[in-house]
Amino acid sequence: MRRFIRPLTLGACTALALSTPLRAAEEPQGKPDTWSDSKPAQVCLDHLKAFDAQMNSEGFWLGGSGYGYGYPLGGYWFGANAGVPMGMSATSMPYAYARPGYEVRVLLAGAGILARHGHQQPCEDVLVQIRQSYDQYKTDMQGRDLRVENALGFRQQELSLAQPVATRTTAIRSDDLLGSEVRTPGNVALGSIDDIVMGADSGKIAYLVVARGGIFGIGEHHVAVPWDQFKVTPNLNILVLDTSKGDMDKAPQITGSRFAPPAPFAQQTAKADAYWSAAAKTPHTD
């Protein structure tokens, strides 16, 4: 299975680096490293999940929050062509060289790693920075005439204009796919794209791996969905899948970043193909 290396790792390492002095202070010198044996810092994990729910309900991520580097090539709004929201110059925005969603996403990844290894206070310290980054972005959006109050309506408009990926005649970058939100036509969040599976014979995209659960699209469960099942919004920021959360729960899952159990690739893809082929014939309600 071919994998595309995402910038998430670098961001997570950055978040971990921020907490290094704190870790050194809380662990006596010479004490054996118990990193892998620590119990999760559940309090901080709960705080991260609550913050994720807050962001999702507020709807300030106009085009999805899982972008890679920089702003979308076409800007946030239909007809925009300057590479930054509403044609703003890069120097006028303090985060112009890294999308706010990307910054928040990678910091959340780092905080999640710290929490899962029992580092409560370092996790909380990173969460402070995450909130500052998000609040800065939110304040900037509120201070400009970007109709933030209509953000959810904008998302619904995007969803209604989504077209099947199979009908696209132009190329799609992996950066446009990895981290992108997956939603139903009715605007129900299903997860985010965690990986791309290429066909062994064709060399073309065969499946997208959807990460589900977890925090801010950094999933705990993974589902392989055939590429031709998806639609994509005009700005390439949201993938639309005509299914339901219930059907996603029943879909064949991937564990350990590989198709499991160990079996010939054709057997695993046949199972996914059969499931989604049958699901496509069933009417769905969000």
- Domain coordinates of the chain in residue numbers? 8-151, 161-280
Q: List the 253-255 sheet strands across, edge first.
A: 163-164, 230-232, 238-241, 181-183, 189-198, 205-212, 221-226, 253-255, 258-259
Round to whole Å and give the CA distance between 175 and 277: 27
Contact indicator for 238, 280 with CB cutoff of 8 Å:
no
Instruction: Tell me the pLDDT band of 226, cut-offs 50, 70 and 90.
Output: very high
pTM: 0.60
Lowest mean pLDDT, pick from 88-102, 167-181, 210-224? 88-102
pLDDT of 138: 80
Residue count of the chain: 286
Name the more confident of 188 and 67: 188
Round to whole Å and give the CA distance between 1 and 277: 22
The percentage of the chain sitting over the pLDDT mark of 70, rounded to a whole number, equals: 59
Round to whole Å and give the CA distance between 259 and 23: 36
pLDDT of 129: 93
Instruction: Tell me the pLDDT band of 114, cut-offs 50, 70 and 90.
Output: very high
Does the structural domain 161-280 have CATH classification 2.120.10.30? no
Round to whole Å and give the CA distance between 6 and 167: 26
Fill in the DSSP letter of residue 98: B
